Structure 1
Amino acid sequence: MQVQSSVAYPPKEPETQQDQPQDQKSIFKAVLDESNVAKILKVANQELTVPTTFPHSTNQGATEYIYEPATWWTTGFFPGSVWALVERASKRKMSTSFDDLVKVARKWEDAVESQKNNTNTHDIGFMIMPSFQRDLDVTGNKACQEVIITAAESLMTRWSDTVQCFRSWNSTRTKEYEYNDKDKYFLVIIDNMMNLDLLYSASLLSGDPKYAEHATKHAETTLKHHIRADDSTYHLIVYDATNGDVMASLTHQGYQHESTWSRGQAWALYGYAIVYKYTKDRKYLDAAKRLANYFMTRVEDGVVYWDFDAPRPCFWDTSAAMIACSGMLLICELENSLEYLPQVTSILKACVNGALTPENGATILDHSTVNNHEHANVRSADTGLVYADYYFLEVGNRLIDMGLA
């Protein structure tokens, strides 16, 4: 199986900053403003009340972070945010030096390294890749190779030959349903598409194609069962662990089982862009673009609501917005095009104008929604969220790479 890591950018004929509309220039300037960097570093340099915990979401108002233990699925995003700043400092002058940023980033990276051995979660890609892949790419730190390969081995323990997928959750429960028997139920969520990046990287680093081969098999199975005929997506597929048959198609965090949870759609479009990046199989690029096109048909004046079918008025989800923007820019990079730049600009404008936190913000962005499903055990909406900031920073870095900011 062909696995490549190249991304073709900048575009062959980039839209120079001089050629950009003034409105677009001001939006991109706001995305890259140093005040956003200051918010990340303020949190990064704080003494932790509880050691080895990580920022996750905030209170409403986004002034104070709630921290989670190292085993929580989002632990990799804050270290990744600091590494995104390191990456940015390698490309342009910033108020904090490259070396100083590396020191802070390594402190946070060291705290999450133990998760490379975690076999209880499919989210090990989220835990490891935002830091260790960037560290490897930007500084050439060879120690990161072992971390990535070990993490990929941990994820491989969750593979099922019967289902042809990686198990996402061992069990799940809401006030509506419960699946707690691993021998009977095999649970796969659309988010899992984003953890395939870890496996492709491990194949490139180790020379062993098995990781990439299993990643592509997972993408193929997901293509068959998670994506509806209209290119919207299900959040959760419950497979029969004994024969691989689909037993149920559900949501866990969206509005209804047949609605489209916006963050799930964003994970999907970005995830298939990743699969295309490594395999160069246009089937996966076509899937990514269909998913992106559907996403944009449901965006309203640049605003991404937490579920595209939830009754209005309803909560935003700026994390879904930023994941989708980064995924669409990746598609542009891979194709040497600016096809999705108007759509990305529209979403960024809505977030810059309506979701940037004031100076006392713990996060850069407010108005994310973790889970607003009516039968959720815990509902969380309209807060700051660590991965909204992570992908916001990633979007800014992509704009720099593309010669647009």
Structure 2
Amino acid sequence: MNKLLPLALSLLSTVAYAQSDYKKAMPFAEKQTDVMLKEIPEAKTKSTKPNVVVPRTLDAKGNLVMIPSKDWVSGFFPGELWYLYEYTKNQKWADVANQYTTYIEPEQFDKGTHDVGFKVYCSVGNGYRLTHDARYKDIIIQAAKTLSTRFNPKVGCIKSWDHRKDWPYPVIIDNMMNLELLFAATTLSGDSSFYKIAVTHANTTMKNHFRPDYSSYHVVDYDPETGAVLHKATHQGYADSSAWARGQGWGLYGYTLCYRETKNPIYLKQAEAIAKFIFTNPNLPKDKVAYWDFNDPGIPNVPRDASAAALMASALYELSTYSKNGKEYRKTADQIVASLTKSYQAKPGESHGFILLHSTGHKPANSEIDVPISYADYYYLEALLRQQRLAQGKKLIDDVK
């Protein structure tokens, strides 16, 4: 029995460390972000794009890529800054978060994209949650009004893209993430139309996006006149029939937040089924940081996607608070966070201040493969904060009010 004691103590130590990764990872994230803030001014001057305001990734030469507010990724960096303020309570981070959030505020009026949710809620939404600034509240409500203009009741979904002329009404699984903006706007405004749109979109997506094994297509294209499904595709994955990793993460997170906002058990069941597909998948690596697509035949010699892993971990922490499988979900989230912290972090002071390496953006287009990306850092910090709240016995999600 005594021979087993060191092993048992070692396992307990590993678990304890995994549940407190935030204690080391958040200070590291602060230092990296300080590096990035110093590098941004020079990167702005070198950018060939007009009106760039926030960082997105690194290019093939290792240079910091800056983007304008219209880019779908623009809200994540301000959101990271708000997360650092939430963790540290240091006014320095609130001030710089407010500065960068200001750059994104015009997006509340952008009717040309469903990504108004990503852009506004990750930045302004976190700002409002932490400061209750009335100006932020007004922006959230206006952004929800803007997003609602893309809803077609015949289809029962918010349209995602306008740029594909061969797809008359494409809806992507990513769009589930933008529903959080609509739910928040309902609470803040009292206008239930936002809630009804969100629920209708979630129900239609649940009906048409998922296969019998609860993996998801990336895109479902509809006839805008009849609502009929025209085509199903996996645009950013290996093949139309494959399970693109980040897409599975969007679905997991999206239906978890839908359950939070509605308490409808069909959404909890959906989130649990998606989690089962992901975390019992034979192609999920031992460190639980997914390959970019679960069905790439080149596995294991294909890129990972740290952004998908961070997204999944954050979703699992929340799902763990609702589900009978909560202990299992929390353990898996801890394992993912531990893997990201141990093996996917940038070297201190390097990578122009990004926190995580080894994400995959759009492999079929040969775009952003094995690079740091701001949304990976955003969901990693969110997962760390959720880990902290659970460890401290605090409520995981703040009420919108």
State the TM-score, normalized to the length of structure 2.
0.87
In the TM superposition, 1:4-403 aligns within 5 A as 21-33=12-24, 34-45=27-38, 46-47=40-41, 48-49=44-45, 52-59=52-59, 64-90=63-89, 98-172=90-164, 179=166, 185-298=168-281, 299-301=284-286, 302-310=288-296, 311-312=298-299, 313-335=301-323, 337-359=326-348, 360-362=350-352, 363-373=354-364, 376=365, 378-403=366-391
The separation in 1 between residues aligned to 2:213 and 2:374, in whole angstroms, is 31
Spell out, residue by residue over 1:89-139, the C-alpha distance to the aligned partner (whole angstroms, 9 max, x if none).
24xxxxxxx211111111101111111111111011110112222222212
Cα deviation, residue 88, structure 1 = 1.3
Cα deviation, residue 60, structure 1 = 5.5
Specify the alignment match of 1:4 in structure 2.
Answer: none
Matched position secondary structure for 1:133: helix
Cα deviation, residue 321, structure 1 = 0.3
The separation in 1 between residues aligned to 2:243 and 2:259, in whole angstroms, is 23
Matched position secondary structure for 1:83: helix
Matched position secondary structure for 2:359: coil
* Root-mean-square deviation (Å): 2.0
Tell me if the contact between 2:104 and 2:119 (Cα under 8 Å) persists in the aligned partners: yes
Cα deviation, residue 251, structure 1 = 1.0
Spell out, residue by residue over 1:349-387, the C-alpha distance to the aligned partner (whole angstroms, 9 max, x if none).
3322321111212311111000112xx3x5331000100
Tell me if the contact between 1:250 and 1:257 (Cα under 8 Å) persists in the aligned partners: yes
1:361–1:31 distance in 2 versus 1, CA, 3 Å: farther
Spell out, residue by residue over 1:239-298, the C-alpha distance to the aligned partner (whole angstroms, 9 max, x if none).
112211111110111000000000000000100011111101011011011111111122
The separation in 1 between residues aligned to 2:11 and 2:69, in whole angstroms, is 43
The separation in 1 between residues aligned to 2:21 and 2:327, in whole angstroms, is 20
Matched position secondary structure for 2:113: coil
Cα deviation, residue 41, structure 1 = 2.7
Matched position secondary structure for 1:193: helix
Spell out, residue by residue over 1:60-86, the C-alpha distance to the aligned partner (whole angstroms, 9 max, x if none).
69x542111110000000000001111
The separation in 2 between residues aligned to 1:127 and 1:112, in whole angstroms, is 7
Cα deviation, residue 20, structure 1 = 8.8
- Unpaired runs of 5+ residues, structure 1, are 1-17, 91-97, 173-177
Q: What's the % identity of the aligned pairs?
A: 32
Paired positions, count: 368
The separation in 2 between residues aligned to 1:114 and 1:21, in whole angstroms, is 49
Relative to structure 2, which stretch is displaced further, 304-313 or 330-339? 330-339
Matched position secondary structure for 2:351: coil
Supply the AA of the counterpart residue of 1:152: A
Tell me if the contact between 1:60 and 1:384 (Cα under 8 Å) persists in the aligned partners: no
Tell me if the contact between 1:52 and 1:111 (Cα under 8 Å) persists in the aligned partners: no
Tell me if the contact between 1:194 and 1:271 (Cα under 8 Å) persists in the aligned partners: yes
Spell out, residue by residue over 1:39-66, the C-alpha distance to the aligned partner (whole angstroms, 9 max, x if none).
12322344232554221122369x5421
Relative to structure 2, which stretch is displaced further, 132-141 or 379-388? 132-141
- Unpaired runs of 5+ residues, structure 2, are 1-8, 394-401
Spell out, residue by residue over 1:208-254, the C-alpha distance to the aligned partner (whole angstroms, 9 max, x if none).
10001100000000000001111100000011122111111101110
1:60–1:340 distance in 2 versus 1, CA, 3 Å: farther
The separation in 2 between residues aligned to 1:112 and 1:44, in whole angstroms, is 17
The separation in 2 between residues aligned to 1:208 and 1:328, in whole angstroms, is 30
Supply the AA of the counterpart residue of 2:292: W
Matched position secondary structure for 1:237: strand
Supply the AA of the counterpart residue of 1:271: G
The separation in 2 between residues aligned to 1:142 and 1:35, in whole angstroms, is 32
State the TM-score, normalized to the length of structure 1.
0.86
Matched position secondary structure for 1:255: coil
Supply the AA of the counterpart residue of 1:361: S
Higher relative contact order (CA 8 A, sep 6+): 1
Supply the AA of the counterpart residue of 1:316: R
Matched position secondary structure for 1:66: strand
1:335–1:86 distance in 2 versus 1, CA, 3 Å: farther
Tell me if the contact between 1:83 and 1:130 (Cα under 8 Å) persists in the aligned partners: no
The separation in 2 between residues aligned to 1:134 and 1:20, in whole angstroms, is 36
The separation in 2 between residues aligned to 1:382 and 1:60, in whole angstroms, is 10
